[in-house]
């Protein structure tokens, strides 16, 4: 059992968001949905909490009302094995009102921040050849969605 579970505060889209996230990542599922009862701050029967699992990691989504919203201070870092996975995750998470940022970051339609990063990026940035790492960093800083071929070209000095 996972000891620490991120709780995501939504106005009233917890179930919708959880179902969306489960559709994006393999090995994912809705685990449980609980609802507000009589006398609660929201109408009885409204979703209170959705417990869901994304690729083996447990999350909780809470419908808590409009008091809080997401910021880039917290994001989810996702390792994407290849360009096809970078493209799929990026395109799916940014669809229907999401916003691109830079260096592989984006906000989805709910305002949650994600980093879609191929592991090869970190390998290149950590190369002991400072010039190679610098070129990769400069290339990355000019990107929104990360392009592995362009990063590798910068690494090689092409």
The pTM assigned to this predicted structure is 0.93
The verdict on 38 and 81 lying in the same domain is no
- Chain centroid, CA 130 distance in Å: 30
> Whole-angstrom Cα distance, residue 3 to residue 152?
38
Q: Is 62 helix (H, G, I), strand (E, B) or coil?
A: strand
Give the three-state DSSP class for 150.
Answer: helix
Q: Name the domain count of the chain.
A: 2
One domain, residues 2 and 48 = yes
Res 148: pLDDT = 98
Whichever domain contains 116, its CATH number is: 3.10.180.10
For residue 112, pLDDT beyond 90: yes
Q: How confident is the model at residue 8 (pLDDT cuts 50, 70, 90)?
A: very high
Say whether both 50 and 10 belong to one domain. yes
Q: Which domain holds residue 14?
A: 1-68
């Amino acid at each position: 059992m996972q000891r620490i579970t991120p709780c995501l505060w939504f106005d009233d889209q917890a179930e919708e968001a959880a179902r969306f996230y489960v559709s994006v990542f393999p090995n994912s599922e809705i685990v449980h949905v609980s609802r507000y009862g009589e006398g609660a701050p929201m109408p009885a029967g409204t979703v209170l909490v959705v417990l869901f699992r994304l690729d083996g990691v447990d999350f909780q989504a809470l419908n808590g009302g409009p008091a809080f919203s997401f910021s880039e201070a917290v994001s989810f870092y996702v390792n994407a094995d290849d360009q096809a996975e970078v493209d799929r995750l990026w395109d799916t998470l940014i669809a229907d009102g999401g916003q691109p940022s830079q260096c592989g970051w984006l906000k989805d339609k709910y305002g949650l921040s994600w980093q879609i990063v191929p592991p090869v990026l970190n390998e290149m940035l950590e190369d002991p050849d400072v010039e190679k790492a610098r070129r990769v960093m400069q290339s990355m800083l000019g990107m929104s969605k990360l392009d592995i071929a362009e990063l590798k070209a910068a690494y090689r000095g092409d």
